[in-house]
Chain A
Amino acid sequence: MDIKELIKNSPFYPVLILESIFSEYYRRLFIKISGSLLIILIAVAGFFSFSNLIYWAPKVWGVFFLGLAFYLAARMLEFYFNASYYFDNVALNRYQPGDFFTFTVGRVLLNVKDGDILRGFLLSPVGRQIIRRCGISDQATRDYLAKRPRGTYYKLPLSPDQVLKLRDLVKWLVTNDQDFSRWLAGFGINEAELIGAVGWVVYEIEYREYRKRWWSESNLSKLPGLAKDWGFGTTYYLDKYSWDLLYGLDYSSELHEYSTRSEEVFQVENILSKQKEANVFIVADTTSERMDIVWHLVRRIKYGETNAALEHKRPVLFNTAVFMAHFKDKASVESELLKILKESQAAGNIILVFDNFAGLFQGFAGLGSDFISLVYPFLVSNAIQIIGLAGTEDFHHLLESNASLMATFDRIFLRPLPDESIIRSLEQTVWAIEKEHKLFFTYPALLAIVKSANNYFVVSDSGDKAVDLLTEIIPWAEGRSYHVIGEDEVAELVRGKIGVPIGKIQPAERESLLNLEQNLHQRVIGQEEAVNQVSNALRRARAGIRNEARPIGSFLFLGPTGVGKTETSKALAEVMFGNEDKMIRLDMSEYQTTEAVAKLIGSSATGQSGILADLVREHPYGVLLLDEFEKTPPAVHDLFLQIFDEGYFSDKSGKKVNLRNLIIIATSNAAADLIWQMVRSGQAPQEKVDELIDYIVQRAILKPELLNRFDAVVVFHPLRADELNKIASLMLSKLAKRLNSQGIDLLIKDKLAETVARLGSNEVFGARPMQRFIQDKIEQPIANAIISGIVASGNTVDFDIDNTGQLTLVKK
């Protein structure tokens, strides 16, 4: 059946024809304009009727009646269209198998000329909207259509027992038309993103239509009635410390209309509807997560959507801080609380929401009062309902252990939201933002927001981070006069915020990545293979091959002491994150006992927070250096096994700590002896990595599975004499630079560098003692000379070296 025939046989045929003759857009425009004109005409006609220019009045009235006839006709058509289009199909999804396709698909097919379905889709209003949401401009679409090799003439996938929906049609198009999917791929759009954009556009259409139906029962019930609370009491004392949520602002905010936590809200509703002990703790990490549930409940009460038990209830937010600030002694705080509770009970419709239940509990304890025993009689009564909001840690620490509280309260722990729910809530929030700020978000931008929120701002498991990021984009984009927010703009914002290179590789970063070796070598002398290996691994990571659910990179640096392992880590922090302070260092030899894991991640038994958890939370982006990694017990190795695999660990209270934005470097001199042996026998240890790994595994220093998790095992060989000389020169030139700022020149002759290298290094510690040597033998004499006035600004300092290597300061 060809497409024209198909439309003709469809039950939507009459409405689709109406659409092709007089489209929805023009119809609505006509109604708007003609409606306004009619009002003007009434005024004009009235004026002429009462004025002396009576001759013109019939003409004006004539125009008025004609206009009225057209206006009414257009209105009737609009009613007809809405009824056929909306009532049965869009809103109630009452499609029947015989319909073949949905109304929206019908509209697309209506655009099809000569059987080219893709062209019809891309030129239809809904298709254009979808493609724009993918971040592709109308012009780009037109160019594509003009240059396209051939049209899509495949047979539509219609079946008599299935209704073809828009997403099915688009999916079919992208699967069957390779050229189309390649074109999309050119803009970085894959099938899933395209289908996501379809979902968003269709959702917007449905939502808009739903809102327009003011006469529907659910929309009518949103108007608050009169005299609803006349049968309930007033709360004089409670009002002093609280806020009536029904009159709060947030309930009507369109930004929050879509709650992603309907399941939890229903649970709260059911608990509060119980005959007695209708109390509930809402436990989550952030206030906004906890309040999100409360606001949703408030909205349902306000709009009369709750079950009968909660109808006409008045949820009141009790402000703990304001209340506690009023009292200094036990007697007054107790008597005020009792007044409030009795009054709330007498009022008969109060749902008391304690904003910080644990805080109140502690505040009372601080005044020597037992909050729980005061509240207990009210908790078991059926006249009052209580919602206690609490943070996860507070709940576990302060409230969970109280048996009477646990017996009278149900508990709801907010589960992490799936990405789909977060995206859905963003989709709705974006409409409001776009309307108000004249911005346009693409669907990939939304995905990027959710992904960035997950990967780069792991503080808690909430969709809040995503909404926060979205809200942050508004002023940021306006400040830069951006109108379209795509994936790249989101990456740019996040990059600026956290200082970690993400998104498209920027020119400066490209330069730095390509010259990574040279940049590292400015600080790291020798160790060519090690530097190359690390550079390649990081380039691989940045090229997008990196798994974002793992740390940016993880390396094991093997080698004797003082050969540049730490220096390489510092250099990496500087090159990759712009500052060597971006390196955090843990000396793992301090974590050798059985409590090591508890010390690192914290312990709920002692209540102590973990050192690793705190460090990483404070510095989530940069280089984490684990010195002498082999010295910690296997339990710590297992912890890092998980970190290398998943990029996070859970601290003592179960909160996730994110290490996905760190380069983790473990150093070890476990195989140092073998490395020395190899060097002495003339072998290059950096070429014998497997042998070194075998050595480590055989001696059970590190487990093979842990070794396999590292992106690279990098071997640092002992430094050769020429390398030591270079290091000495580098260190001396740093000192010379410092002296230079005081106007003193230091002459660095080759012999001086050689002497420093020879006497300042040894086999066991490599170049490590060199700094100390310079300090003792060079800096100290210069400092003495400056203080005693022998050397002053404008002088040059040199050192004589005798046969024993004794250094003598010479002023020139």
Chain B
Amino acid sequence: MRFVVIFANYLIWHYGRAIADLTHIYGNLIRFTFNFFSLTILLRSYFSPWRRMGESYPERSMEITAYLSVFTVNMIMRCVGIFMRTIIIIIGLMATILVIVSYPLILLTWLILPLLVVFFFLVGLGLLIR
């Protein structure tokens, strides 16, 4: 009788509350991946120079070459920034997609897990007594 109570209660939990919890945890994981790769920050600062590096334009000089040299340096810093960010953004997006895609797989595994346990048990038993 006691086993029946546990078993019934377990199944109700397994196909009810547990699925809701699993979905909730997945939500956490997706948010975590997004934050871990700082995707929002990187997109927001996509065009800024690498670590705010750069030179300031001369204040009173009229020399065009001075302006051009500063402009080139700053441009390079921006390009370095864009390059580095792009790499992280791509990796981050891939990781996020991976997490999202794995959800149905994990969910499916969860749904058939009780059957899997029975299956493994029978297979094991079968192999032993063969």
Q: A residues touching B (Cβ–Cβ < 8 Å)?
A: 13-14, 17-18, 21, 58-59, 61-70, 72-73, 76-77, 79-80, 83-84, 87, 215-217, 220-221, 223, 225-234, 304, 312, 346-348
- Besides A58-B127, A220-B31, 18 other A-B contacts (C-beta < 8 A): A17-B5, A21-B3, A59-B127, A62-B126, A64-B124, A66-B124, A66-B128, A70-B121, A215-B29, A225-B38, A227-B88, A230-B50, A230-B85, A232-B52, A234-B52, A304-B35, A347-B52, A348-B52
Rank and list the top 5 A-B pairs by shortest CB-CB distance, nearest first.
A62-B127, A65-B124, A66-B124, A233-B52, A62-B128
**Measured CA separation A69–B51 after assembly (Å):** 53
Verify B121–A65 contact, CB threshold 8 A: yes
A selection of 13 A-B contacts at a CB cut-off of 8 Å is: A14-B10, A17-B2, A65-B120, A65-B123, A66-B128, A69-B120, A84-B13, A215-B29, A225-B38, A230-B42, A230-B50, A231-B41, A233-B53
Residue of A nearest to B88 (CB): A227
B9 part of interface (Cβ distance < 8 Å): yes
CA distance A243 to B28 in the complex (A): 33
Select from chain B the residue with minimum beta-carbon distance to A67. Answer: B124
- CB-nearest residue of chain A to B44: A231
Q: Which residues of B contact A (CB under 8 A)?
A: 2-3, 5-6, 9-10, 13-14, 17-18, 21, 25, 28-29, 31-32, 35-38, 41-42, 44-45, 48, 50-53, 81, 84-85, 88, 92, 113-114, 116-118, 120-121, 123-128, 130
A70 to B85, CA, bound (A): 47
User: Are A221 and B35 closer than 8 Å at their CB atoms?
Assistant: yes
B29 close to A80 (CB less than 8 A): no
Q: Across the interface, which residues of B come within 8 angstroms of A87, CB to CB?
A: 21
**B120 x A217 contact (CB < 8 A):** no
Does B18 lie within 8 Å of A79, measured CB to CB?
yes
A218 to chain B: closest residue by CB: B28
The B interface, classified by DSSP as helix, strand, loop or mixed, is helix
Chain A nearest CB, measured from B8 CB (Å): 8
Q: Which residue of B lies closest to A17 (CB)?
A: B2
**Neighbour of B81 across the interface among A230, A234, A304, CB < 8 A:** A230
CB distance from B11 to the nearest CB of A (A): 10
* Complex: A334 Cα to B92 Cα, angstroms: 45
Interchain CA distance A87-B18 in the complex, whole Å? 11
How far apart are the CA atoms of A70 and B130 in the complex, in Å?
20
Is there an interface contact between A231 and B35, defined as CB atoms closer than 8 Å?
Answer: no
CB distance from B108 to the nearest CB of A (A): 15
Q: Chain B residues near A64 (CB, 8 Å)? A: 124
Docked Cα-Cα span, A312 to B50, in Å, equals 16
Residues on the A chain within 8 Å of B18, using CB: 79-80, 83
Give complex CA distance A535, B9 in Å.
Answer: 72
Task: Give the CA-CA distance A67 to B50 in the complex, in Å.
Answer: 54
Q: Is the CB–CB distance between A83 and B21 below 8 Å?
A: yes
Task: Give Cα distance in the complex from A80 to B13, angstroms.
Answer: 7
Q: Please tell me which one of the listed residues A17, A76, A221, A225 contacts residue B14 in the complex, with CB atoms under 8 A apart.
A: A76
Pairwise interchain contact A220-B32, C-beta atoms closer than 8 A: yes
A410, B88: Cα distance in complex, Å: 40
A226 contacts B38, C-beta separation under 8 Å: yes
In the assembled complex, which residues on chain A have CB atoms less than 8 Å from the CB atom of B81? 230
Residue numbers in B under 8 Å from A216 (CB-CB):
28
The answer to whether B13 and A69 touch across the interface, beta carbons within 8 angstroms, is no
Shortest Cβ gap from A66 to chain B (Å): 3
Q: A17-B2, A227-B37, A304-B35 are in contact. Are A234 and B53 (CB under 8 A)?
A: yes
Nearest-neighbor residue (CB-CB) of A219 within chain B = B28
Within 8 Å CB of B116, what residues of A?
Answer: 72
Residue numbers in B under 8 Å from A80 (CB-CB): 10, 13-14, 18
B123 to chain A: closest residue by CB: A65
**What is the minimal beta-carbon distance from A175 to any residue of chain B, in angstroms?**
34
What residues of B have a CB within 8 angstroms of the CB of A77 in the complex?
A: 10
Q: How distant is the Cα of A362 from the Cα of B51 in the complex, in angstroms?
A: 35
B37 touches A226 (CB 8 A): yes
Contact B29 A220 (CB under 8 A): yes
Are B124 and A62 in contact (CB-based, < 8 A)? Answer: yes
Give the residue of B6, B29, B51, B88 whose beta carbon is less than 8 angstroms from that of A18. B6
Residue of B nearest to A228 (CB): B38
The answer, among A61, A221, A348, for a CB contact under 8 Å with B32, is A221
A220 and B28 form a contact (CB under 8 A)? yes
Report the Cα distance A431→B94, complex, angstroms. Answer: 41
The distance from the CB of A35 to the nearest CB of chain B, in whole angstroms, is: 15
A262: min CB distance to chain B, Å: 24
Q: How far is the CB of A129 from chain B (nearest CB, A)?
A: 26
Q: Which residues of B contact A18 (CB under 8 A)?
A: 6
Q: Which residues of B contact A223 (CB under 8 A)?
A: 32, 36
Decide if B45 touches A17 in the complex (CB within 8 Å).
no
| A77 vs B113: C-alpha distance when bound (angstroms) | 12
Asked whether, in the complex, the Cβ of B41 is within 8 Å of the Cβ of A227, the reply is: yes
Determine the distance from Cα of A216 to Cα of B24 in the docked complex, in whole angstroms: 9
Collect the chain A residues with CB atoms within 8 Å of residue B85's CB. 227, 230
> Judging by beta carbons under 8 Å apart, are B127 and A225 in contact?
no
Closest Cβ of chain B to A216, distance in Å, is 7
Tell which of A68, A84, A312 touches B124, judged by Cβ atoms closer than 8 Å: A68
State which of B28, B41, B117, B123 has its C-beta within 8 Å of the C-beta of A228: B41
- Docked-complex contact A217 and B31, CB < 8 angstroms: yes
Known contacts A62-B124, A225-B36; is A232 also within 8 Å of B14 by CB? no
Instruction: Please measure, in the bound complex, the distance between the C-alpha atom of A151 and the C-alpha atom of B52, giving whole angstroms.
Output: 75
A-chain residues with CB within 8 Å of residue B126 when the two chains form the complex: 62
Contacts of B13 in A (CB 8 A): 80, 83-84
A61, B128: Cα distance in complex, Å: 8
Complex formed: what's the CA distance from A347 to B53 in Å? 9
A contact residues around B36 at 8 Å (CB): 223, 225-226
Q: Establish whether residues B120 and A72, one from each chain, have CB atoms under 8 Å apart when the complex forms.
A: yes
In whole angstroms, what is the CA distance A76 to B51 when docked?
A: 48
Contact A232–B51 (Cβ < 8 Å): yes
Chain A residues, Cβ within 8 Å of B28? 215-217, 220
B128 touches A63 (CB 8 A): yes
Asked if A234 meets B2 with Cβ closer than 8 Å, knowing A62-B124, A304-B35, the reply is no
Query: A214 CA to B10 CA in the complex, in Å?
Result: 23
A669 CB to closest chain B CB (Å) equals 79
Is B53 touching A231 in the complex (CB atoms < 8 A)? no
Q: Is the CB of B45 within 8 A of A231?
A: yes
The answer for the CA separation of A717 and B88 in the assembled complex, in Å, is: 92
- Whether the pair A233, B2 counts as a contact (CB closer than 8 A) is no
The chain A residue with its CB closest to the CB of B25 is A215
A229–B13 alpha-carbon span in the complex (Å):
44
Which single residue of chain A is at the shortest CB-CB distance from B84?
A230
B41 touches A312 (CB 8 A): yes
CB-nearest residue of chain B relative to A13? B5
A residues in contact with B114, CB < 8 Å: 76
